[in-house]
Every structure is written in C-alpha cells, then in structure tokens.
Amino acid sequence: MKNEFQKSNRVDMMINPANRVKSIQLSQIRKMFEVCSENAINLGIGEPDFDTPLHIRQAVIESLDEGFTHYTSNKGILELREAISKKLNAENNIQKDPESIIVTVGASEALYMCAQALINKGDDVLIPDPGFLAYDAVIKISEGNPIPIPLKMENDFRMSAEDVENKITSKTKAIILNSPSNPTGSVMNRAEIKKISKLAEDNNIFIISDEIYEKITYGTKHHSPGEFTDNAIVINGFSKTYAMTGFRVAYVAARDDIIEELLKIHQYNTACASSISQKAALAAIEGPQNCVDEMVGEFKRRRDLMVGRLNEMGWECKSPEGAFYTFPYVEDSQEFISKALENEVVAVSGKAFGKAGSEHVRMSYAASYLEIESAMDRLEKINI
Ligand SMILES: Cc1ncc(COP(=O)(O)O)c(C=O)c1O
C-alpha cells in the first residue's frame, strides 16, 4: 500500500544529483587530452615522464611476494609514519610524532579530507588565483566559498602577507597555500610564510599547506608554515618527487585535534592507503635521494629550454623557481590554445586555474626535452 507521500506526484519529478556537486565542472585539463590527436605533443599533463626509480618498484615486488596485500592501520603503516615524522623534523623543522600523521590516497585525498573536516557551510576559504583546480572544487563540495587571492606576474605570482590580510574577514576559516605552485611555479619566501602564519594565528585561521612540489625547486629553498604555526595542516606526497603518480600515496601532518577529525573522513572514505603503495613510499623516503636530484636536474634543463624559446618568440615568460610548469603571458589564452592545437601542441588555458590566469597558458615541462624542442618549433608557426 502506498503512503500519502508516495501517492503524491513525486513519481513525475526528475530525480537529481546533489546541487553542490552539479555546480562543479569536470577538470578542463582532462578534457584537453580527449580532443588532442595522436601526433599532438602534450604539454598539458602534470606528471613526470620518468619511470618510478627501480628501488621503489622493487619494494613493491617484495611486498607482494611477502603477501603484504591487506588493510593497514587507518593512519598508515607505522614505519612509514615514523619515516615521515623524521623527514619533517630534519628537513622542515616540524615536530610531529607518527600519531599526528595520516598516510593518504594522494595529496588529492588529503585536500578533500581537509575541506570536509574543517569547513562549515558558508565558511570562506582563501585560495591562490591562479591555483590548482582542486582547491575551488573541494571547498564547494564542502559548501564553503572559495575566495580567490589574485596573484600578479609582476610579483612573480608570489602571494604576500599583505594580499592575505586584505582578504581576511570574520567569515574566513582557512587559507590554502601552495608553494612551489601549480600552475605558476612560484616559490614563496620564508619571511612571507612566517608573516602569513602569524596572521593565521592572530585571526584563528587554518592554513592548508599543499607542499607536493617541495623537492622540485631550482635553487630557492621551500619553507613550510608548519615550522611557524600549529594552525598549519601540512600536505606532502610522493607523486611528483619520485615520479609515483599512479601509486596514489601522500600524507597529511597536523596537530592532534585536527588529525582526529581528518581521520574520520579518511576512515569512512578510503579506510587506508594501498598497502603496497605505502611500502613503495617507505622505499622512496628511506632510499637513495640521488634519483630526485637527477630528475630535478633534467627538469631544470627543460625549463631553461622552454622559457628561453618562449621569450625568443615574444611570449613573456618568467623563469619559474619550482614545480614543472611555465605560465607565459599570451594575452588571449583561448586563441593561443586553439592555434597551438592546430599545430598539434596541447597547452592548458590559464583560465582553468582562476580568473587571474586568463591571459596566460600553462605548459608543463614534464614532457621530454625532445618533445619540448619540437613543441616549441611548432609554436613558432603560430601567428596571433
Ligand atoms: C598542487 C597540487 N596538489 C595536489 C596534487 C595532487 O597530487 P596527488 O597525485 O598526490 O593526488 C597535484 C597534482 O597535480 C597538484 O598539482
């Protein structure tokens, strides 16, 4: 027998997914790959073209042979969290014991967890503009409001404490920092990070610090707000540093009361990161680091090639101090992107990363040196 509610004409109504998700776009970057032809050179992708170093792959084979294929503790295997704790202390001057660390399914999951655990409906979260696409999306999924902080090319796209201070209101709950930055490659300096950390403390604001490109710098050292304030939630991982994007492994470190809330999201979302990926991460963090130096050295060579060629062609391009992207000024990014595609080069419109990026394009130099050379030859044919 039908109840009153079922008898109503609800059956005629469309059943719709949640509005907060419907308002979000799928990644523009992924879309670009779908339209490009087989001969196209893809400078759109944000992942190193190197093979994962051998000793890391071997650790996975060993873990499989040992039958290490079951759930791990929710926070991740203790050995890995101990190694991360040591690393944070030695390299970042951050004191977090293994209990204050959660191993996550990529920095992507860590960002999602932070948004879910920290943001209430209607909270404002300051984000860099241009900035990584996921920031806007994860905040909206949590029904928060992303508030862009526009970054300027004349300041090398660096966020200053003054930029942050100007945007803080009573609704500001958190700020996302990303240094080195995707898409601009800018690296924030220590003094500015210290000032922003003080602002966060004075105004009771969380800092979500995405440090995934920490090791990919070309002379400028990375610094973390985790050194200065306990309001900082530090996100770092293995995807970019060790060419391990497919392993989906990263971590988050924060003070204990925040970790407890983050763990709830992690536990009910993924239970734990993949057991064998955690073993791979352990081999990466404890093993020889010369593989990282070699990759960064090669990125630098490619960066110099790309920046040099773009400037020669008249596309104004700063030499980025970190990550593996250039972000040249092209005036009309849409026109540039379509002309580049006609010449079989895939780049991403700066607009995808926020309004302040709309006159730029992002080109990744995680493609090979030879590919970059050919791509630049092809771009030389563009006339706008
Ligand atoms: C700034 C930034 N944060 C986070 C991520 C996600 O990294 P992961 O592969 O660890 O999920 C990316 C990937 O492109 C990124 O560029």
CATH code: domain 54-286 is: 3.40.640.10
Q: Is 108 in the pocket of ligand 1 (CB under 6 A)?
A: yes
Torsion on CA atoms 237, 240, 241, 243, rounded to nearest 10 = 120
| Of the candidates 108, 82, 107, 109, the residue with the CA atom closest to the CA atom of residue 96 | 82
3-state secondary structure of 240: coil
The contacts of residue 150 (CB under 8 Å, 6+ apart) are: 129, 163, 354, 355, 356
- 135: nearest Cα among 152, 110, 105, 117: 110
> Taking the C-alpha atoms of 300, 288, 178 and 223 in order, what is their torsion angle to the nearest 10 degrees?
-100
**37 vs 30: CA distance, rounded Å:** 14
Task: Give the atom of ligand 1 at the shortest distance from the alpha carbon of 132.
Answer: 1
- From 132, 147, 137, 145, select the one nearest 22 (Cα to Cα): 137
d(CA 59, CA 65): 10
Find the 238 Cα to ligand 1 centroid distance in Å.
10
Ligand 1 in contact with 210 (CB < 6 A)?
yes
Tally Cβ neighbours within 10 Å of residue 203.
Answer: 15
Q: Is the dihedral of CA 119, 123, 127, 130 positive or negative?
A: positive
pTM of this prediction? 0.95
How confident is the model at residue 11, as a pLDDT? 60
CB-based contacts of 316, cutoff 8 Å, min separation 6: 153, 328, 329
Cα–Cα distance measured from residue 100 to residue 61, given in angstroms and rounded to the nearest whole number = 29
H helix intervals, the chain = 4-7, 19-22, 28-35, 54-65, 78-92, 106-118, 133-141, 161-167, 190-202, 256-269, 275-286, 290-313, 333-342, 369-379
The dotted CATH code for 4-52+291-379 is 3.90.1150.10
Task: Provide the pLDDT for residue 4.
Answer: 74
User: Whole-angstrom Cα distance, residue 57 to residue 42?
Assistant: 26
In the prediction, which pLDDT does 187 show? Answer: 97
Residue among 102, 108, 184 whose CB has most ligand 1 atoms within 8 A, to mutate: 108
Residue 128, Cβ density class (10 Å: 0-12 exposed, 13-18 middle, ≥19 buried):
buried
pLDDT at 16: 87
**Which residue of 27, 114, 240, 245 sits with most ligand 1 atoms within 8 Å of its CB, as the best mutation to test the pocket?**
240
Sign of CA dihedral 339, 341, 345, 348: positive
CB 247, CB 265: distance < 8 Å: no
Mean pLDDT by 10 residues, the chain (384 residues): 70 80 80 74 90 98 98 98 98 98 98 98 98 96 97 94 96 98 97 98 98 97 97 98 97 98 98 98 98 97 98 95 97 93 93 95 96 96 78
- Listing DSSP states for 284-331 in one string gives HHHS-SHHHHHHHHHHHHHHHHHHHHHHHHT------SBTTEE--B-S
The whole-angstrom separation of Cα 95 and Cα 89 is 5
Atom of ligand 1 nearest to the CA of 107: 10
Check: CB of residue 284 under 8 Å from CB of residue 249: no
Domain boundaries along the sequence of the chain: 4-52+291-379, 54-286
